Chains A and B, each alone.
Chain A
Amino acid sequence: MRLPPRLTQAFVVSLLGLATAATLVILVFVIVFILRKGLPAIDSEFLFTKPQDMGRAGGILPTLVASVILPLIAVAIAAPLGISTAVYLTEYTRESRVTRMIRFGADCLAGIPSILFGLFGFIFFVTILRMGWSLLSGGLTLALMILPTIIRTTEEAIRAVPNAYREVSTSLGATRFRTTAKVVLPNALPGIVTGIMLGVGRSIGETAAVIFTAGSSLRMPASIFDSSRTMSVHFYILAREGLSSEMAYGTAAVLILSVLAVNLVAYGLMNRFIRRRS
């Protein structure tokens, strides 16, 4: 038996709508659940003192610091490399087998699971290069992880810069480098920053790649050669070892809030960028 098309449509649309509603409910639930249980635990003592008794009491200050420094190291390495890659792909070369290979490499890198980054970082940075468990090892590992994101977003941002700007700059006697530095990159900046912020967000939330490279020492790091525990690793350990659910919820709330804040800034910039273009 066939239903009339109108009726089928009404039926299907309600199903699709239901699916969308369910998705949004689940995702919003995750955030609300964590924040509702975690926010009460957050106060200045929680944020600005050291943990005590393995994290059962006290605060999360060292992990907060590690979660700031680690993404900074990652970005300091990945941003110049990623932006250079994007500039090379867009401004300095033509589509060829080499560019396709570079893009394929970046796409594959983007798909590598974080645990493999962890394995690699552990064997390469921690062991072979003798950096030990340290913020530096972790930062280098994360840099590789966020590199593809930065390449992709920068490339898109650069492609969106009107070609007329390049022609004008060239016609005024600018070299390719000057044109890139003075006209192309400044105009692509919001898009580039978006990519960087997404990378920062990912670095803050990452656990598997970090736990094997930066380690899990709860002490306050004195330098980037020290092992240190990020918020996400701290949260994982608290939750898995059942040390303190109050502390776990509190850490999770701070974690979610920082990632959301970073991503919100990224999307805000991207929106402004898109609107300015159109």
Chain B
Amino acid sequence: MPVKFSIQRLSTYYGSVQALRSLSMDVAPNRILGIIGPAGSGKTSFLRTLNRLNDLLPDFRAEGRVLLDGVDINGPDTDPVLLRRRVGMVFAMPVPLPMSIYENLVYGPKLTGIRDYQRLGEIVEKSLRAAFLWDEVKDRLNLPALRLSGGQQQRLCLARTLALSPEVILLDEPSSGLDPISTARIEEALAELKSAYTIILVTNNTKQASRVADETAFFLMGELIEIGPTEKIFTAPKDRRTEDYVTGRFG
């Protein structure tokens, strides 16, 4: 099986608080990996380690190795800025930057040096279509992004990430604040996207994982309890704690 991300004995700390405990797993390309687990189980910390967003926090520390296509992302050969262009991220709450829809979408591409308007226009359209947002906003790309509804904002954030043409997309509970219809739209988009990307989806909604994920990992208290094909995790988990969680006995 090909491997996109290989995580080896990863531990993370915020000051003296440990978030992840010696976590090891492989992430396959062109699939959706769902990560489930109760609040505080380290899911978000894990995600933010993969694009080194945790670097922004002054007292963050990571041990172990994270390999992207075989190269250590914390190694001297990796530029975190370039890494983040390859590993895009959609946050839990939709955070459009306070600019127009168009400016939000070209923010990333412009940083990579693309200046050509036609080219930018193509990227905008392609990303919006992939996020199922094109038809709703195509006539008002200059509208401030903050005027969109919550569901539209989150799809805009997805499109904004796609505009970077990343290899991996990290989604941190992308539908936690959304209504069921918007959630369905996002999930629909993800199903389409997986053929071209590696998708890691953190969710506190086990049903969402069961709907869209190919594989599912269960985190608890900073540890990886179990990882496997989604169907197996939900119907025949090996670990008692996984079973308790997916059947809704806690969390």
Contact = CB atoms under 8 A, between A and B. Distances in A.
A171 B97 contact: no
B39 interface: no
Contact of A167 (B56, B85, B160): B56
B98 interface: yes
Contact of A166 (B56, B107, B157): B56
Interface in B90-142: 91, 93, 95, 97-98, 107-108, 111-112
A167 B91 contact: yes
A236 to B, nearest CB: 46
Interface in A77-112: 94
Nearest to A162: B95
A183 B84 CA distance: 17
Interface stretch (A146-154, A173-181, A215-223, A251-259): A173-181
B53 interface: yes
Nearest to A168: B95
B91 A164 contact: yes
Name the prevailing secondary structure of the A interface residues.
helix
Interface residues of A, number: 18
Size category, B interface = 20 to 34
A187 interface: yes
A23 interface: no
Contacts of A245: none
Contacts of A178: 111
Given A94-B58, A167-B91, A178-B111, A172 B53 contact: no
A233 B93 CA distance: 56
B81 interface: yes
B128 to A, nearest CB: 16
Interface in B18-72: 51, 53, 56, 58
A165 B98 CA distance: 9
B93 A171 contact: no
Contact of B111 (A164, A167, A174): A174
B89 interface: yes
A18 to B, nearest CB: 46
8 contacts: A164-B91, A164-B93, A168-B91, A170-B84, A172-B85, A172-B107, A172-B161, A173-B85
Given A171-B89, A172-B164, 16 more contacts: A94-B58, A164-B91, A164-B93, A164-B95, A165-B98, A167-B95, A168-B97, A170-B56, A170-B84, A171-B51, A171-B161, A172-B108, A172-B161, A173-B108, A173-B112, A178-B111
